[in-house]
Structure 1
Amino acid sequence: AYHEAQALQPKHITKGFDGRNWITLVRQKTDREVSVPLLPQAEKLIAWFRELNSTDDYIQPRISNQKVNSYLREIADVVGIDKKLTHHTARKTFATTILLYNDVPIEVVSKLLGHSDISVTQRSYAQVLNKNISNHIGRLEKVLNK
């Protein structure tokens, strides 16, 4: 979420049991701890931000949610995306396009998003889950027809 992204500090990045870097923080909305392993792309972005702002206590530049959304709209215009992009849209896109469409289990998606209960995730992403179910049944159908 925007507030967690803006509050992210180097102290929130720790080496996990698996040798990866993880973000570990308490979500403001649910007051629950959430741990998210960092993908290499995220690590590169963090390193880039730290290089630009080596004296800042925060990982990302401290800008308002409105300004972030304004930048996202500019990017959408430049690359020809005809959709209103926001920080929250980016969060939902990560959950669907990156996680669910790549067969990450809903339980893992729920944990990564910091939802208080898996039913929140299921309600929010029901149409994605149905599409995923349809894709899996389509693959099963092909296998069974051979």
Structure 2
Amino acid sequence: RDLFLFACYTGTAYADTVSITEENLFRDEEGSLWLKYHRKKNKMLARVKLLPEALAMLEKYKDPTRPTLLPPQEFRVLRGNMKSLRVLSGISMDLVYHVGRHSFASLVTLEEGVPIETISRMLGHNNIQTTQIYARVTPKKLFEDMDKFIEANKDFKFAL
């Protein structure tokens, strides 16, 4: 469960999540902790500022004897655990690890106003079209964007 939640908070793919190390962490000028790594899939650089929930998870699993920040889990075991989570939570669709990456792109970032170009960089995509597949526009985001558009153009007279 926690590995999946880490993907929801960071947008990391499974292969990247289980291989990140202390070397992948850095602090910015304000002291915020970032995750910076090259994706296993395409070698693209991905960078994401760690949310408090992700930081708490790293702290929870901190183990100086392990080379990775999070405990590794065989992918088939992870898949079995994901199926159990799906059943326990009453979700009807197949719950796979990659849903966490999509959740990060759509709900955590895009819906909160982060531009899709920035999300693309966070996810380590080399093509913004890939990010567009991940970052689905939710009804909430659509309504908010239309409200912003209307507010910004309230004094503009549209010709009929």
Query: What TM-score bracket applies, with the shorter chain setting the length?
Result: 0.7 to 0.9
Q: Which position in structure 2 is the counterpart of 1:128? A: 137
8 Å contact kept, 2:27–2:34:
yes
Equivalent position to 2:52, from 34, 40, 46 = 40
1:90 Cα shift? 1.1
Q: Which of the numbers 19, 27, 37 marks the counterpart of 1:25?
A: 37
Q: Does 1:137 align with 2:149?
A: no
How far, CA to CA, are the matches of 1:127 and 1:88 in structure 2?
14
How far, CA to CA, are the matches of 1:32 and 1:42 in structure 2? Answer: 22
Deviates more, 1:98-107 or 1:128-137: 128-137
Gaps in structure 1 of 5+ consecutive residues = none
Match among 17, 20, 23 for residue 5 of structure 1: 17
CA contact (8 A) 1:9 1:59 kept: yes
* 2:114 equivalent in structure 1: 104
RMSD across aligned positions (CA): 2.5
How far, CA to CA, are the matches of 2:135 and 2:69 in structure 1?
33
Superposed structure 1 runs of 4+ greater than 6 Å apart: none
Which residue in 1 is equivalent to 2:73? 63
Residues 65, 87 of structure 1: 8 Å contact kept: no
Q: Give percent identity, aligned residues only.
A: 26
When residues 121 and 73 of structure 1 are mapped into structure 2, their CA distance, relative to the original with a 3 A threshold, is same
Name the SS for the 1:128 alignment partner. Answer: coil
CA-CA distance at 1:131 after TM superposition: 6.9
Gaps of 5+ in 2: 1-12, 155-160
Distance 2:135 2:53 in 1: 28
Structure 1 residues 139 and 29: alpha-carbon distance in aligned structure 2, compared to 1, 3 A threshold:
same
Ranked by relative contact order (alpha carbons within 8 Å, sequence separation 6 or more), the top structure is 2
Q: Per-residue CA shift, 1:115-143, capped at 9, x if unaligned?
A: 01223212x14742787345421564488
Q: 2:94 aligns with which of 84, 88, 97?
A: 84
The count of residues paired between Structure 1 and Structure 2 equals 142
Does structure 1 conserve the Cα–Cα contact (< 8 Å) formed by 2:105 and 2:135? Answer: no
SS in 2 for 1:81: coil
Q: Residue 93 and residue 134 in structure 1: after superposition, are their counterparts in 2 closer, same or farther (change >3 A)?
A: same
